[in-house]
């Protein structure tokens, strides 16, 4: 059996027993434990994968959890139709590299069929809920992994790692199961499903330090690059097919990067000269704005924006 001690063995992750695990190793082990629990206890899990950094980290953790086997579940992407082209390209390459099945829920198709209406402000992030629930139902997914973190938002700060959703995908914050020790209760009845958040306890800085340590590839727009932008709502918006400046909004070229990657119509860039992951780690550690506050118009709508969307079945 010792033939498994093979050459491709790369960096040995902190095996030292005499010293404590680093916080990243502890978080990694916790996340892998949760991913394995869900795979063991549910019939048909899927992983929400947008090409955003949190979902990329989730997928990386899943590959580690089942090594040398394949990741034993499909990935699900809710495509707003307003995605950055380089993110879609990254998504497709990743799925190919890991040999995964990709399920796409399309906001555009729902709009074309008249089952969803375009919003006045043009943003499509809130429209993702309907295609998401439809994909969950059509594919009979009983558990859906998400990359949600509790440090993102005060509604998420109160959500369980395994979060029970009813037939309508709704989250009921007043009726959550207590989560004790490392014993996760994923029991659900027909029609209910569970959202699983294995990286609940990670912060934005943890994510970036982990990306750096594990050398994880991300879509290029997370790093500083030159882009044509215009100012709107106190953010830099990219010029693109679905994101056009109004006559009074001047287009200029800036060196920017994205801290979150969402719908092109509501995600803003920040001015940055962080060209490498190490630069980003330093930038995030020194940042004075939360990532959602800095770059997401959809979370600025109201103080309870995330809470409202979660109750309606959002991620």
Partner 1 sequence: MSTISEISTGSLTEGLPTTLFRFATAGSVDDGKSTLVGRLLHDSKAILADTLDAVARTSADRGFGGEKGGIDLALLTDGLRAEREQGITIDVAYRYFATDRRSFILADCPGHVQYTKNTVTGASTADAVVVLIDARKGVLEQTRRHLSVLQLLRVAHVIVAVNKIDLVDFSESVFREIEADVQQVGRELGLGSDGITDLLVVPVSALDGDNVVDRSQRTPWYTGPALLEVLETLPAADELESHLESFRFPVQLVIRPQGALAPDAVAAGLDVEAYRDYRAYAGQITEGSVKVGDKVSVLTPGQDPRTTTVVGIDFAGASLEEAAAPQSVAIRLAEEFDVARGDTIAAAGTVREASADLYASLCWLSPKPLREGQKVLVKHGTRTVQALVRNVGGKLDLASFKQEPASTLELNDIGNAQLRLAAPLPLENYLHHRRTGAFLVIDPLDGNTLAAGLVKDHPGDHEDERYSI
Residues 72-101 that bind partner 1 (CB under 8 A): 97-99
Q: Which two tokens stand for residue 217?
A: 């590839």
Minimum CB–partner distance for residue 61 and partner 1 (Å): 9
Closer by beta carbon to partner 1, 252 or else 282: 282
Q: Which two tokens stand for residue 131?
A: 């295609």
Q: Which two tokens stand for residue 121?
A: 């402000």
Q: Which of residues 294-313 bind partner 1 (CB under 8 A)?
A: 294, 303-304, 307-308
Longest dimension (CA), the chain: 70
Burial class of 182 by CB neighbour count within 10 A (0 to 12, 13 to 18, 19+): exposed
Q: How many CB atoms within 10 Å of residue 222?
A: 22
Counting contacts by CB under 8 A, is residue 170 touching partner 1? no
Minimum CB–partner distance for residue 199 and partner 1 (Å): 12
Asked whether the beta carbons of 45 and 78 are under 8 A apart, the reply is no
Counting contacts by CB under 8 A, is residue 158 touching partner 1? yes
Minimum CB–partner distance for residue 306 and partner 1 (Å): 10
Q: Which of 1, 117, 120, 246 binds partner 1 (CB under 8 A)?
A: 1
Q: Which of residues 244-283 bind partner 1 (CB under 8 A)?
A: 278, 281-282
Q: Which of residues 14-43 bind partner 1 (CB under 8 A)?
A: 15, 17, 20-30, 32-33, 36-37, 39-40
Nearest in space to 122 (alpha carbons), one of 223, 242, 202, 237: 242
Closer by beta carbon to partner 1, 206 or else 298: 206
Q: Which two tokens stand for residue 297?
A: 């118009």
């Amino acid at each position: 059996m010792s033939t498994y001690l093979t050459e491709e063995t790369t960096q040995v992750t902190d095996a030292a027993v005499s010293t404590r695990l680093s916080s990243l190793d502890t978080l990694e082990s916790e996340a892998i434990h949760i991913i394995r629990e869900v795979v063991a206890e549910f019939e048909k899990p899927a992983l929400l994968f947008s090409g955003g950094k949190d979902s990329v980290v989730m997928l990386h953790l899943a590959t580690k959890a089942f090594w040398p086997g394949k990741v034993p579940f499909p990935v699900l992407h809710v495509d707003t139709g307003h995605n950055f082209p380089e993110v879609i390209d990254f998504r497709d390459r990743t799925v190919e590299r890991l040999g995964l099945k990709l399920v796409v829920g399309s906001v555009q198709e729902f709009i074309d069929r008249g089952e969803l209406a375009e919003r006045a402000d043009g943003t499509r992030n809130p429209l993702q809920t309907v295609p998401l629930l439809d994909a969950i139902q059509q594919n009979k997914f009983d558990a859906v992994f998400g990359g949600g973190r509790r440090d993102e938002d005060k509604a998420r700060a109160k959500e369980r790692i395994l979060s029970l959703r009813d037939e309508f995908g709704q989250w009921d914050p007043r009726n959550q199961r207590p989560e004790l020790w490392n014993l996760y209760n994923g029991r659900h009845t027909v029609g209910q499903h569970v959202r699983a958040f294995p990286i609940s306890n990670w912060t934005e800085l943890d994510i970036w330090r982990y990306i750096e340590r594990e050398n994880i590839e991300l879509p290029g727009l997370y790093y500083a690059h030159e882009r044509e932008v215009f100012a709107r709502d106190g953010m830099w918006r990219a010029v693109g097919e679905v994101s056009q400046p109004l006559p009074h909004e001047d287009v200029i070229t800036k060196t920017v990067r994205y801290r979150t990657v969402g719908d092109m119509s509501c995600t803003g860039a920040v001015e940055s000269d962080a060209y490498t992951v190490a630069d980003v780690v330093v930038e995030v550690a020194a940042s004075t704005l939360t990532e959602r506050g800095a770059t997401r118009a959809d979370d600025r709508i109201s103080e309870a924006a995330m809470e409202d969307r979660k109750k309606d079945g959002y991620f």
